[in-house]
């Protein structure tokens, strides 16, 4: 009997899930470590059904890549959101306040804090509102825009963010920076959702 490549991938995926369960590494616990930058067990893949969280497939190129931890953190935040892992909200909040804001690879920016903010908005846990307001005031423009969008997801519950969003909406932009315009637009959208 011949096994196709897809059949082998299915068998490998099943074995990985069994191994994770047998080793005490539940998806939630593994994602918690991945959010902290300590592990990299899961990745987000786009399938015909949409985005899905899958066990990561490794290659030798992954080892020694300095951009690997922040990319893994972004995947973990997205997986937490896709799987509605509310138990990971405290980890995302901790990462929002402790982790690196952005990681510059030399080829581009990896927006770690923005990914955490986006996941918290999608999960909708009200304990994230104050930390998101903090990011709105003190982070990079990309993280501030993601925080504004996330606060909009809370609608009226994020009423305390209104003065901060108003300030973000009026951010000066004398040089015509497109990132400032993204922040202003995100703040306007959030204000429209919080106080319709």
- State how beta strands 109-110 and 50-55 pair: unpaired
Domain ranges of the chain: 5-194
- The confidence band for 156, taking pLDDT boundaries of 50, 70 and 90, is very high
**Considering the domain 5-194, what is its CATH architecture?**
Alpha Horseshoe (1.25)
- The confidence band for 173, taking pLDDT boundaries of 50, 70 and 90, is confident
Angle CA(109)–CA(182)–CA(90) in degrees, nearest 5?
65
Q: Are 50 and 75 in contact (CB under 8 A)?
A: no
Task: Record the tokens describing residue 31, joined without a space.
Answer: 């994602």
Rounded to 10 degrees, what is the CA torsion of 141, 147, 152, 154?
Answer: -170
pLDDT tens digits, one per residue of 99-145: 667 888 777 888 999 999 999 999 999 999 999 999 998 878 999 99
User: What is the pLDDT of the chain when averaged over all its residues?
Assistant: 84
pTM of the model: 0.81
- The confidence band for 149, taking pLDDT boundaries of 50, 70 and 90, is very high
């Amino acid at each position: 009997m011949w096994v196709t490549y897809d059949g082998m991938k299915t068998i490998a995926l099943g074995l990985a899930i069994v191994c994770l369960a047998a080793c005490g590494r539940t998806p939630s616990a593994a994602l918690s470590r991945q959010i902290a930058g300590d592990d990299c067990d899961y990745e987000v893949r786009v399938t015909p059904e949409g985005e899905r969280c899958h066990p990561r497939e490794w290659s030798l190129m992954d080892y020694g890549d300095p951009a690997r931890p922040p990319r893994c953190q972004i995947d973990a935040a997205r997986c937490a959101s896709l799987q509605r892992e509310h138990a990971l909200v405290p980890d995302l909040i901790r990462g929002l306040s402790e982790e690196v804001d952005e990681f510059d690879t030399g080829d581009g920016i990896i927006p770690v804090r923005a990914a955490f903010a986006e996941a918290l908005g999608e999960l909708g846990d009200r304990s994230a509102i104050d930390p998101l307001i903090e990011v709105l005031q003190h982070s990079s423009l990309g993280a501030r825009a993601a925080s504004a969008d996330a606060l909009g997801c809370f609608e009226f519950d994020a009423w305390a963010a209104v003065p901060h969003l108003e300030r973000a909406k009026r951010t000066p932009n004398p040089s015509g920076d497109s990132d400032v315009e993204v922040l202003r637009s995100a703040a306007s959208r959030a204000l429209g959702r919080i106080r319709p």
